[in-house]
C-alpha cells in the first residue's frame, strides 16, 4: 500500500503528531512512497552501488572534450550500448535501458568516453550518448524533506534505485526532483553527487 503524505502547517504540536504518525506508518510498512514504477530494466540490488573512490586518479582537463575527467554525466537515451573498447568494432558488454542514469566519465578518446556505472562496471560509450543533465540515483531508501533540515517534515520516502534530477547540493543535502516531486535528501544517500574536486 502506498500513501503520499503532505504537510504544510508550522504548528509545533501538530508537527510532532505528524512525525509520530509517519513513523507509525513506516513501522507498519505503509510509509509515504514515490513509486519507482517504469524507471527501468536496470536492476539495483541492495548495497550494490559502488561509491566513487579513487585517490590515485587526479582530476584533469581532457584534451578531447576540454572537460574535467573524472566527471559525472547522464545517459541521454533509453538504449545505450556499452562496449569493451572505444569503437564500433568492439563487442557490446552492456545495453543500458535507462535515460538519465548517472555515470562517471573516467577516461576519454576522440569520440568515445569510458564510463563507470552506479554498480561499478566500466564500458565505453559514444560521446553522443551522454548528456549534461545532472542526475543521481538513490543508493538506499531515502526520506525527502521540505527543507534541508531534519526538523522539517518528511514529504516522501523514495525507494532505492530511483533516478532523480539534481537541482543543487548544499553541504550534506541535495535538492532533488523525482517525477515532478521536489524536496531535499541527504547527499550521502544519492550516487552521482560526490564532490570530485
Residues 6+ away with beta carbon under 8 Å from 23: none
C-alpha cell at 80: 545505450
What pLDDT does 57 receive? Answer: 63
State the DSSP code for 139. S
What pLDDT does 175 receive? Answer: 97
User: Tell me: the pLDDT tens digits for 22-41?
Assistant: 444 444 444 443 333 234 44
**Per-residue 3-state assignment (H helix, E strand, C coil) for 42-66:** CCCCCCCCCCCCCCCCCCEECCCCC
Domains of the chain (ranges plus CATH)?
A: 60-133 (2.30.30.40), 136-191 (2.30.30.40)
C-beta of residue 176 within 8 angstroms of C-beta of residue 184: yes
pLDDT < 50: residue spans in the chain: 1-47, 55
Nearest CA to 104 among 4, 13, 194, 165? 194
User: Tell me: the pLDDT tens digits for 165-185?
Assistant: 999 999 999 999 998 999 999
Q: How many beta carbons lie within 10 A of that of residue 190, not counting itself?
A: 25
Q: Which regions of 14-170 does DSSP assign to beta strands (E)?
A: 33-34, 60-61, 68-69, 71-75, 80-83, 92-96, 102-108, 112-116, 122-126, 130-131, 135-138, 142-145, 154-158, 163-170
Give Rg (Cα) of the chain: 19
What pTM does this model have?
Answer: 0.72
C-alpha cell at 89: 568494432
Nearest CA to 191 among 162, 150, 167? 162
What pLDDT does 50 receive? Answer: 56
What pLDDT does 170 receive? Answer: 93
What pLDDT does 11 receive? Answer: 38
What pLDDT does 58 receive? Answer: 76
Amino acid at each position: 500500500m502506498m500513501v503520499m503524505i503532505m504537510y504544510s502547517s508550522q504548528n509545533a504540536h501538530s508537527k510532532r503528531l505528524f512525525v509520530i504518525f509517519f513513523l507509525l506508518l513506516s513501522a507498519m510498512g505503509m510509509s509515504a512512497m514515490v513509486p519507482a514504477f517504469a524507471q527501468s530494466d536496470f536492476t539495483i540490488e541492495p548495497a550494490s552501488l559502488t561509491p566513487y573512490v579513487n585517490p590515485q586518479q587526479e582530476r584533469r582537463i581532457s584534451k578531447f572534450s576540454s572537460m574535467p575527467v573524472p566527471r559525472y554525466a547522464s545517459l541521454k537515451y533509453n538504449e545505450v550500448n556499452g562496449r569493451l573498447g572505444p569503437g564500433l568494432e568492439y563487442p557490446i558488454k552492456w545495453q543500458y535501458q535507462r535515460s538519465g542514469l548517472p555515470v562517471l566519465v573516467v577516461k576519454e578518446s576522440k569520440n568515445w568516453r569510458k564510463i563507470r556505472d552506479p554498480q561499478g562496471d566500466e564500458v565505453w560509450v559514444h560521446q553522443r550518448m551522454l548528456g549534461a543533465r545532472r542526475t543521481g540515483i538513490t543508493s538506499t531508501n531515502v526520506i525527502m524533506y521540505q527543507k534541508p533540515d531534519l526538523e522539517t517534515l518528511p514529504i516522501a520516502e523514495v525507494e532505492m534505485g530511483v533516478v532523480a534530477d539534481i537541482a543543487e547540493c548544499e553541504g550534506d543535502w541535495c535538492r532533488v526532483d523525482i517525477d515532478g516531486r521536489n524536496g531535499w535528501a541527504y547527499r550521502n544517500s544519492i550516487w552521482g553527487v560526490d564532490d570530485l574536486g
